[in-house]
Structure 1
Amino acid sequence: MPTTTTTDLHTGGCLCGAVRFSVSGEPTGGNHCHCGMCRKDSGSGVSTFVTFPTVNLKWDAKPAEFESSPNRFRGFCPKCGSSVTWRHGDYPDFLDFRLGSFDDPTPFKAKKHLWMSTALPSFAGIDPGIEHVDQSS
């Protein structure tokens, strides 16, 4: 009798529900980004992302995208404006999801702080137990 393996299914979407996704398996990364663009996009002192391979992704409805800098794209709901994703155009096999876009964000843990040179110490919640990177691409 063959053995079956179950993988965790993670679901999420935007505030109004017009953009929905499901992604399976374990994330390949999780980062707190302190860059100014992520702060503007999220309206927060730090922005947290969870990275998954796109092969494990299914969209019920896709976000619109904005090219915030060359070959860097931010996905958002065209109806409510919620920020949902970030992607680097040179790496189409991976997609970063905003932690807050998951229906249940509790399984995920950050692995890095990015853009530490621009971090706001009073708001960053900087975890000394994970890797700190001064800048990121």
Structure 2
Amino acid sequence: MSESALEGGCLCGQVRWRATAAPANVRVCHCRLCQRATGGAFFARAIFRLEDFERSGETTSWSTSPRIDRHACGRCGTPMFAAPRDLPARIGVSIATCDDPGALRPDCHIWVSAKAQWLVIADGLPQFEASWSMD
């Protein structure tokens, strides 16, 4: 990430976010929870420290596991954030919501044991069968 802030938002523009530091990691999660929560084959997300992150706009939230609360735009429904309860100083952000779609590149794939069978991962990134820390 460059020295400037990274910004993004939902489809309708009601929810906006801004990160002032590089993410701790950027990963593609293929677990069934992420598939169902996003309505897609995977959840490509960046983890930021909350001290380097700000957001505005109304979101709805719900728990998708004992560990994760999800947040979506309250108006258009765009899946935006994943908040890990065991790492309260962190927030996961959908990289698809970045204003610059090429600003962040994933560093690995996690939960590939649950990936869609039709999906071929050919980007050369490391792949992990199960979980990887959000830290």
The structural deviation recorded for 1:41 is 1.8
User: For structure 2, which runs of at least 5 residues remain unmatched after alignment?
Assistant: none
The structural deviation recorded for 1:104 is 0.9
TM-score of the superposition, structure 1-length normalised? Answer: 0.86
Corresponding residue SS for 1:69: coil
Matched residues, number: 131
The structural deviation recorded for 1:128 is 5.5
CA contact 1:21–1:57 (8 Å) conserved in 2: yes
> Percent sequence identity over matched residues?
24
- RMSD, aligned α-carbons: 1.7
- Shifted more, 108-117 versus 36-45: the winner is 36-45
Which residue number in structure 2 is paired with residue 132 of structure 1?
A: 127
The structural deviation recorded for 1:62 is 4.7
The structural deviation recorded for 1:30 is 0.7
Moved over 4 A (4+): none
User: For structure 1, which runs of at least 5 residues remain unmatched after alignment?
Assistant: 1-5
CA contact 2:50–2:91 (8 Å) conserved in 1: yes
The structural deviation recorded for 1:8 is 2.1
Which residue number in structure 1 is paired with residue 26 of structure 2?
A: 30
- Shifted more, 7-16 versus 76-85: the winner is 7-16
Task: Choose 1 or 2 for highest CA Rg.
Answer: 1
**Counterpart check, 1:7 vs 2:19:** no
**Counterpart check, 1:69 vs 2:65:** yes
